[in-house]
Structure 1
Amino acid sequence: MHTLFFDLQQLRLRRHEKRLTELLQQDEGEKARLEEEAIKRSKAVDGAILGKYSIWRRDENENSDSLVRLIRDQVIMARAYIGVAQARNNQRLLRDLRIRLRDSERVVGDATIDAELPRSAPDKIRAMGQVLAKARQQNYDCNSLVKGLRAMLHGAEDYARSLRKQSAFLSQLAAKTMPKGLHCLSLRLNVQYHVLPPDERQFPNREKLEDDDLYHYALFSDNVLAAAVVVNSTVLHAEEPDKHVFHLVTDRLNFGAMKMWFLDNPPGNATIHVQNIDDFTWLNSSYCPVLRQLESAAMKDYYFKPDQTTSVTSGTSNLKYRNPKYLSMLNHLRFYLPEVFPGLSKILFLDDDIVVQKDLTPLWSVDLHGKVNGAVETCGASFHRFDKYLNFSNPHIARNFDPNACGWAYGMNIFDLEEWKKRDITGIYHKWQTMNKDRTLWKLGTLPPGLITFYNLTYPLDKSWHVLGLGYNPGVEPEDIDAAAVVHYNGNLKPWLEIGLSRFKGYWSRYVKYDHPYLQECNIQ
């Protein structure tokens, strides 16, 4: 077998050399004809030899990038032969290969299609082909070449891994930042709110805020524009907008801006209520484990130690879990719904990175069969099950939960608050959050404790209610999006960020009032 392989390689070499010699002696028209013959003969030999390579190789359909790829292939082969020439101390060949390698790299540059190549490209290809043919003749050693190519492959894989790590790091960094336009918008709205007379700062319909016969929504956000999209899209698709009540909770910095936006842009006949989380005096470290843990020295070091590295070399997971959203009580407020809304029996929780596309009122009629949480499950054959989120090497987790239990999505959840209070859901959350003070049961976030807290207490909704992935998965099918009642931009690629997936931004941006003077002044486009 080895002899046959070597004979086939030698046959291939002789044919290339013969055609190369003839090619260099012919005029341009004859060169083109002979080159095409060389391509056909090369392909015939290549098809019988593993690890095939032809210095004249082109795509059968003459793609627009065939020359670019040919040059890049020649560059790869040249680098491999440089290693062989160095091992054999063939200085003359080494010099020729390096000269041609430098020329080819300059010619191809950042080109992606043939039209971007300079006119000298065919000459450089031909010159490199001559040197590669010489290298084959003088240094043809399968083992040496394979070793060289393998070393290059490992180097390329290491480089690709470093690029992926860098990309993930930059994505995490971008996801943590507040775009300048949104910061500008919040500042302008805050200024406008604080010059309003006190009697003009109140919303109408206050009598509806605890009317249990209406449809109540909970939305916790510090992003004015994102909250506006959630409210606008929900009201637009509601059959009876006057029966919908939106309870927004934000932080002190954005309280005035959030109120001002909805005072200036009321959502039709729907009711708006904006609260400041800092006014919830019961939400303190003596009651809330997360706040208590944030006061510990270990947690302060984890988040705020000055010499913490946030470079690529420190890994992307460190940056991910130091995201400020994990510190925000707006993120953990979802575990305190009965305390925030003591007069309500049911509420629909919405994240601020969703868009509503259908009337959501049927959700209040869903029979949860004694469960507390109605949510769309997210697991497939093995994906998004409990063992993805929880540390099953910990005995507390292993004893109490099934690693194959199906995960579900936060973002659109119907909660039975009466059943919540009967089962002391907040107490269950407190118990597990306290046990996780060293982050040994799960990493930071709200989904893992949510899976634990609502274990066996979650009723699966039909998947058409809630389609996820628009913030990280470009493969979400358009027909699934169009059929969904709610689409969710979970992930780092939020639609209000530059890094957002452009193919999905239209579903979100159609509900943004780009003609608003403040959006135009803040260059939000």
Structure 2
Amino acid sequence: MVRRNLVLGLLCLTVLAPIVLYTDRLSAASNPSSNDEVLDEVSGLKLTNSVKEPVGVIYFDNSSNSNQIPTDRVDGFASSTTAELPLGKSEEHKSRVLSAAVDERSWPEREAVIKEVTNGVTGNGLGKPESVEEHKEMGSQQTIPNSIPAKEENEFEKQHRQTSPRNNPEKQQTILIKKSSDMTIPDARVRQLKDQLIRAKVYLGIGPIRANPHLVRELRLRIKDTQRVLGDATKDSDLPKNTYEKLKAMELILNKGKQIQDDCAAVVKKLRAMVHSSEEQLRIHKKQELFLTQLAAKTISKGLHCLPLRLSNEYFSLNSSQQQFPYREKFEDPDLYHYALFSDNILATAVVVNSTICNANNPADHVFHIVTDRLNHAAMRMWFLANPPGKAAIQVQTIEEFTWLNDSYSPVLKQLRSQSMIDYYFRTHHATANSDANLKYRNPKYLSILNHLRFYLPEVFPRLSKVVFLDDDIVVQKDLTGLWKVNMKGKVNGAIETCGESFHRFDKYLNFSNPLIAKNFNPRACGWAYGMNVFDLDQWRKQKITEVYHYWQNLNIDRQLWRLGSLPPGLITFYNHTLPIDHRWHILGLGYNAQVDLRDIESAAVIHYNGNMKPWLDIGMPKYRGYWSKYVNYDHIFIRDCNINP
């Protein structure tokens, strides 16, 4: 019986206690004096969950030396926490503080504040008040006394909200617009259109979509529209005004295709096939480009073919006395400035001579020694007879006049006339005929002894001590007599070096897998350029450079040491015999490099159109052609009759 009464008592206690407590809570809430406490509890509860740190706790010390703890304010409220900190010997207690502005507000205003607190702070959705972040960054310690006027607090908060970008929508919008404008991609829409084209082509190759003729027809139509819109555009500003409509129309069709075809594996397979096909087409196109570029570079235009014919006809109409050049006594004068120029291109040779004379301080002291083949000999002589370079001397010879240059003396001449070399150039049915690696070297100029005559300068000019060698694809822009004043320091060849960090070094021209090359040369040795070189012929004879050339040519009879051309044997022959000269003497790259600095071109003594894009060809770069064409008289009767235009 006693146990039953005890159980009933406990049961009554558990039922009645909550009712009594809840009733007491309601009565307290109805009391206006307790509203502030309810408001504090709500705001404190919300901020505690969102900020996750103690906010707005203020400890008061009854003693005169009270410690001050920093507080953070949120919309006029000082938040509370239940944590207690030791404050020495003084009494410990805590208090929730409301600003005077809250005390003066009406109840509807307080409800609005409660909603603002409970709904969280707008912005990044983290629920962290702006003032908390600001105080954390500043690391400031503040105390908020109860006597702060409401007007001061409101003015502070207003100023804070105006200066903060997060509370200033206009300022925040300006920042976002500025960032977006900085990150704008100029070809974003062009890329999007290209991506749509790829997706459309993928869908056209997938079975379920091919089974839908209506969709296939629409896709093909949209592909044509998109290709028409794209054209040659490289940036969005090149696109027409109706681009957006075409883009939307294509996207609608692609969405239809996506609904029909949802097999990702099939799409991936088709994409891989497209990538493989594109790579194969790219390889073929590169090979065709290489072949066509080489063909265009070595094909003679109608005008250049007409010019020697017209000149030759005129030359043979002259009597023997009219066919002779003046100033023949200057040909072997060692005190004058002598140039060696070996070419079969009449117009290019004329530009070299004309540009040199136009920029010479004293043209009468210059002598030009031109060597050409028998086919162009009459035309070359006729040009300079009809266009004499002032008081400068001109000598034109044929390579056949050098009787000492024969198979028994020159190993390269013997190799060029061998059947294996002829087969290499003119037979196209063997496996390597169309090889990319061999195409560059299958150039007919390598069969010409004119290309190798530069290794026999002491024999060509037996009575000269120094000569400047010029290629026919250069333009002289300054007086070159300073080259004869260069101290050669016992070297034979003066040239500009062409090596960079990893290119134009010996390992790019010579076969270092061969033991002979690897043993005798440094693969990282710096290369140099032909085109404008000063040669000390006395040192050449003294150091027997021609014999060095013959030695290595005999070793390269099977072309295992280097490919064809004159630069690799030149690097070998003049190894440790070359003096680097100032780069301002000779600027390269105008026949292949569109990025040559115009300031370097203007300041250079000689500019060189090395490469396939010669200035007299249609494939020459227009931005550089003017430097060459200004030395051509297009009003000349022979030039005009052959329809050669700038």
Q: 1:60 to 1:70 in 2, by over 3 A?
A: farther
1:198 counterpart = 2:320: yes
Q: Report the Cα offset of residue 443 of structure 1.
A: 0.5
Q: Secondary structure at the match of 1:326?
A: helix
1:360 counterpart = 2:486: no
Q: Report the Cα offset of residue 302 of structure 1.
A: 0.9
What corresponds to 1:478 in structure 2?
598
Q: For 1:339 and 1:370, how far apart are their aligned partners in 2?
A: 20
Residue 213 of structure 1, aligned match among 322, 329, 335: 335
Q: Secondary structure at the match of 1:253?
A: coil
Q: Report the Cα offset of residue 115 of structure 1.
A: 10
CA contact (8 A) 1:172 1:316 kept: no
Q: For 2:225 and 2:564, how far apart are their aligned partners in 1?
A: 48
CA contact (8 A) 2:553 2:569 kept: yes
Q: Report the Cα offset of residue 321 of structure 1.
A: 1.5
1:255 counterpart = 2:374: no
Q: For 1:308 and 1:191, how far apart are their aligned partners in 2?
A: 41
Matched AA of 1:477: D
Q: Secondary structure at the match of 2:425?
A: helix
Residue 587 of structure 2, aligned match among 447, 467, 474: 467
Residue 329 of structure 1, aligned match among 449, 457, 479: 449
Q: For 1:239 and 1:316, how far apart are their aligned partners in 2?
A: 47
Q: Secondary structure at the match of 1:321?
A: coil
1:105 counterpart = 2:224: yes
Q: Quick check: 95-104 or 227-236, which moved more?
A: 95-104
Matched AA of 1:220: F
Q: For 2:414 and 2:579, how far apart are their aligned partners in 1?
A: 31
Q: For 1:519 and 1:379, how far apart are their aligned partners in 2?
A: 39
1:171 counterpart = 2:293: yes
Q: Report the Cα offset of residue 309 of structure 1.
A: 8.5
Q: Report the Cα offset of residue 322 of structure 1.
A: 1.8
Q: For 1:164 and 1:188, how far apart are their aligned partners in 2?
A: 38
Q: Secondary structure at the match of 2:595?
A: coil
Structure 1, residues 372-404: CA drift from partner, whole Å, max 9, x if none?
Answer: 000000001111000000000011101100000
Q: Report the Cα offset of residue 370 of structure 1.
A: 0.4
Q: Secondary structure at the match of 1:415?
A: strand
Q: For 2:553 and 2:358, how far apart are their aligned partners in 1?
A: 38
Q: For 1:458 and 1:472, how far apart are their aligned partners in 2?
A: 25
Structure 1, residues 281-313: CA drift from partner, whole Å, max 9, x if none?
Answer: 1111111112211232221211233646898xx
What corresponds to 1:299 in structure 2?
421
Matched AA of 2:319: P
Q: 1:136 to 1:143 in 2, by over 3 A?
A: same
Q: Quick check: 286-295 or 466-475, which moved more?
A: 286-295
Residue 73 of structure 1, aligned match among 192, 195, 202: 195
Which consecutive unaligned segments of at least 5 residues does structure 2 have?
A: 1-181
Q: 1:95 to 1:161 in 2, by over 3 A?
A: farther
Q: For 1:317 and 1:130, how far apart are their aligned partners in 2?
A: 48
1:411 counterpart = 2:522: no
CA contact (8 A) 2:467 2:536 kept: yes
Q: For 1:518 and 1:360, how far apart are their aligned partners in 2?
A: 30
Q: Quick check: 266-275 or 403-412, which moved more?
A: 266-275
What corresponds to 2:215 in structure 1?
96
Q: Secondary structure at the match of 1:414?
A: strand
Residue 281 of structure 1, aligned match among 403, 406, 422: 403
Residue 513 of structure 2, aligned match among 393, 406, 420: 393
1:509 counterpart = 2:509: no
CA contact (8 A) 1:397 1:441 kept: yes
1:443 counterpart = 2:539: no
Q: For 1:90 and 1:304, how far apart are their aligned partners in 2?
A: 52
Q: For 1:310 and 1:495, how far apart are their aligned partners in 2?
A: 31
Q: For 2:185 and 2:423, how far apart are their aligned partners in 1?
A: 59
> Over the residues paired in the alignment, what is the CA RMSD in angstroms?
2.6
Q: Report the Cα offset of residue 62 of structure 1.
A: 9.7
Q: 1:91 to 1:410 in 2, by over 3 A?
A: closer
Q: For 1:169 and 1:377, how far apart are their aligned partners in 2?
A: 29
Q: Quick check: 370-379 or 283-292, which moved more?
A: 283-292
Written as runs of structure 1 = structure 2, the 5 A alignment for 1:19-58 is none
Matched AA of 1:483: S
Q: Secondary structure at the match of 1:413?
A: strand
Q: Secondary structure at the match of 2:277?
A: helix
CA contact (8 A) 2:197 2:226 kept: no
Matched AA of 1:391: N
Q: For 2:285 and 2:411, how far apart are their aligned partners in 1?
A: 38
What corresponds to 1:351 in structure 2?
471
Structure 1, residues 24-82: CA drift from partner, whole Å, max 9, x if none?
Answer: xxxxxxxxxxxxxxxxxxxxxxxxxxxxxxxxxxx99796x877655433221112234
Q: 1:306 to 1:80 in 2, by over 3 A?
A: closer
Q: Secondary structure at the match of 1:490?
A: coil
What corresponds to 1:487 in structure 2?
607
TM score, norm. by length of structure 2: 0.68
Which consecutive unaligned segments of at least 5 residues does structure 1 have?
A: 1-58
Q: Quick check: 140-149 or 384-393, which moved more?
A: 140-149
Q: Quick check: 351-360 or 316-325, which moved more?
A: 316-325
Q: Secondary structure at the match of 2:203?
A: helix
Q: Quick check: 282-291 or 220-229, which moved more?
A: 282-291
CA contact (8 A) 1:169 1:315 kept: no
Matched AA of 2:520: N
CA contact (8 A) 1:173 1:319 kept: no
What corresponds to 2:253 in structure 1?
131
Q: For 1:77 and 1:480, how far apart are their aligned partners in 2?
A: 47
CA contact (8 A) 1:68 1:112 kept: no
Q: 1:119 to 1:216 in 2, by over 3 A?
A: closer
Q: 1:116 to 1:438 in 2, by over 3 A?
A: same
Q: 1:143 to 1:182 in 2, by over 3 A?
A: same
CA contact (8 A) 1:97 1:131 kept: no
Residue 427 of structure 1, aligned match among 531, 547, 570: 547
Q: For 1:504 and 1:147, how far apart are their aligned partners in 2?
A: 48
Q: 1:191 to 1:309 in 2, by over 3 A?
A: farther
Q: 1:370 to 1:100 in 2, by over 3 A?
A: same
Q: 1:389 to 1:379 in 2, by over 3 A?
A: same
Q: Secondary structure at the match of 1:374?
A: strand
Q: Secondary structure at the match of 1:455?
A: coil
Q: For 1:229 and 1:281, how far apart are their aligned partners in 2?
A: 29
Q: For 1:183 and 1:302, how far apart are their aligned partners in 2?
A: 26
Q: Quick check: 447-456 or 70-79, which moved more?
A: 70-79
Q: For 2:308 and 2:248, how far apart are their aligned partners in 1?
A: 61
Q: For 1:190 and 1:444, how far apart are their aligned partners in 2?
A: 32
Q: Report the Cα offset of residue 340 of structure 1.
A: 0.5
Q: Report the Cα offset of residue 124 of structure 1.
A: 5.0
Q: 1:418 to 1:252 in 2, by over 3 A?
A: same
Percent sequence identity is: 60
Matched AA of 1:485: A
Q: Quick check: 96-105 or 438-447, which moved more?
A: 96-105
Residue 374 of structure 1, aligned match among 491, 494, 498: 494
Q: 1:106 to 1:166 in 2, by over 3 A?
A: farther
Residue 319 of structure 1, aligned match among 439, 457, 461: 439
Q: For 2:417 and 2:396, how far apart are their aligned partners in 1?
A: 28
Q: For 2:209 and 2:344, how far apart are their aligned partners in 1?
A: 66
Q: Report the Cα offset of residue 480 of structure 1.
A: 1.1
Q: For 1:124 and 1:375, how far apart are their aligned partners in 2?
A: 59
Q: Quick check: 65-74 or 289-298, which moved more?
A: 65-74
Structure 1, residues 411-433: CA drift from partner, whole Å, max 9, x if none?
Answer: 00000000001111111111111
What corresponds to 1:183 in structure 2?
305
Q: Report the Cα offset of residue 502 of structure 1.
A: 1.2
Q: Quick check: 142-151 or 201-210, which moved more?
A: 142-151
Q: How many residues align?
A: 462
Q: For 1:98 and 1:323, how far apart are their aligned partners in 2?
A: 50
Residue 266 of structure 1, aligned match among 375, 384, 388: 388
Q: 1:369 to 1:253 in 2, by over 3 A?
A: same
